Amino acid sequence: MLAAKMIRWRRVLPGIDFARVVAKDCAVLSADLGWAMRCLIMLVERMPRRDVMGMIPKQPRILWSADLPERFERVVSRLVQLHPSGDIDIVLDLLSEHPELLYRLDYYPKATIMDDLPIEIQNMMIVADQSLDATIRYYRNRRTNYGAEISGQHLPENRDWQREG
């Protein structure tokens, strides 16, 4: 029975090391395959040009989470509010790199700014000890294949966050 489930998942998700996924979260073996596919389709539609399949080994729960559509909307909205850039594209890039935020952010409902979050989550929002400008530039450059850097669109339009502190 276990072998049959593994074979079925490998057929549906070729290229994913499913043994690694199961090692991270064995509940995925009990997941409804139809629901998992609906969740993946929803993520692909709402996160265009992002590596949704790369999110699975990092957070297998996205395959079986019953509230994923509502959770996704809620977390993306909160991240847009909390991230200093306020840029949904940057937030979607961040979420594709750190899909665990889909589940961890709910533990901090009183957070109103990024500084209210644990340092580990703040570090997810900042690229490699860089400033916020560098982080925003990194995501925009990555998305535009460095077209933003060349055109000068690498800095946030709203710089109110710099005046606060």
Place 163 in a pLDDT band, splitting at 50, 70 and 90: very low
Q: List, for residues 52-75, the tens digit of each pLDDT value.
A: 999 999 999 999 999 999 999 999
Using alpha carbons, select from 138, 141, 142, 136 the residue that is nearest to residue 155: 136
Q: How many residues does the chain have?
A: 165
The confidence score (pLDDT) of residue 154 equals 46
Span 3-31, average pLDDT: 90
* Helices and strands of the chain, counted as H and E runs: 11, 0
The confidence score (pLDDT) of residue 162 equals 46
Please, is 5 exposed, middle or buried when counting C-beta atoms within 10 Å of its C-beta (0-12, 13-18, 19+)? middle
